Amino acid sequence: MPNININYFGGIVKVLEDPIPKLVASNMTRTDCRVQLSQVRTNQIARLVFWGNLARDVVDYYKSNDYLLVEGYIRLSKHLNLTQVEITVSKVYPLLLNLNYNPS
């Protein structure tokens, strides 16, 4: 019987804000950004979390309004009766990048 993990996510997201890098313990880089899920559900907003070299690459290459195909693990948390979705990304692929980005 195959090993199936129901917490694994694969889907298309729209980046809502520029990825924000943070330096955590012992020079490990973590990057967060809010995204909109492509499906129509009650909770369409999620937070993507990237670690290590992938975190640095995300800051360099992806900006707001880009569309990405991401794979990773979902974590749900409840805060003040709201369910927050956090996806720790293991793979990311660009689908549609905003080429008119001007960081002024």
Asked if the structure places residue 75 within a domain, the reply is yes
What pTM was computed for the model? 0.81
pLDDT at residue 1 tops 60 = no
- Name the residue range of residue 64's domain: 8-95
Most confident of 5-14, 24-33, 39-48, 58-67: 58-67
Asked if the structure places residue 3 within a domain, the reply is no
Residues 4-20: what's their mean pLDDT?
A: 87
Q: How many domains does the chain have?
A: 1
Asked if the structure places residue 2 within a domain, the reply is no
For 35-92, how does the pLDDT look when each residue is reduced to its tens digit (9 = 90+)? 998 776 666 899 999 999 999 999 999 999 999 999 999 998 787 888 888 999 999 9
Higher-confidence residue: 73 or 99?
73
Q: Note every long-range contact of 4-11, with CB atoms under 8 Å and residues 24 or more positions apart, other chains counting.
A: 5/73, 7/73, 7/74, 7/75, 8/71, 8/72, 8/73, 8/74, 9/70, 9/71, 9/72, 9/73, 9/74, 9/87, 10/69, 10/70, 10/71, 11/37, 11/38, 11/39, 11/69, 11/70
